[in-house]
Structure 1
Amino acid sequence: MSVQADIKWIHEELDKVNDPLFIEAIKNMLKYNKKVSSQRISIEEYNKELDTSIAQIKSGEIFTHEQMRERIKKWGEQ
């Protein structure tokens, strides 16, 4: 399959997704890919990401390793 065909397939599949956590995971992967391909982030951006992560942990927006393993397994079944 060509890259363009893969991209088309990904677009089509994303249009079907209704799980906000899965969408967030995709967004994070795309953001990470963009950062990896560019220069290092600033210390301010790094600290902002840490603050966001800490806030998510404090508000209970977390999954255990086992919970994520089960979620990932379900993604593969779809």
Structure 2
Amino acid sequence: MEQKLYLYDKRKTTIMATTDLRDTVKDYIDTADVRLLKMIKALAESYQNDQQETFTLSEEQYDMIDKRRASHLKNESQSFTWEQVKQNARKAIE
């Protein structure tokens, strides 16, 4: 007997189990026209590409993060107002 894992949201309403979702999607695919199949293919390819992206930091960025973390742990971190944050962001773009 197959076990199904069901998830519940905050209101305790049932959310479809993964196996049920797969079955439902397969049913849609089995009856789909070319237009829907192309959309599903594009969505799947986009998802695959997003999963393969890697994000790397430079040594300088790692050093900056380490320094800021150490400063934060020593309670030496600097606070900024929202206006200062916006100004710094604008300067970084220029």
TM-score bucket of the superposed structures, by smaller chain? 0.3 to 0.5
Structure with more relative contact order (C-alpha pairs < 8 Å, separation 6 or more)? 2
Name the one with the larger strand percent. 2
TM-score (norm 2): 0.38
- Scaled by the length of structure 1, the TM-score of the pair is 0.45
Structure with greater proportional helix content:
1
Larger radius of gyration: 2
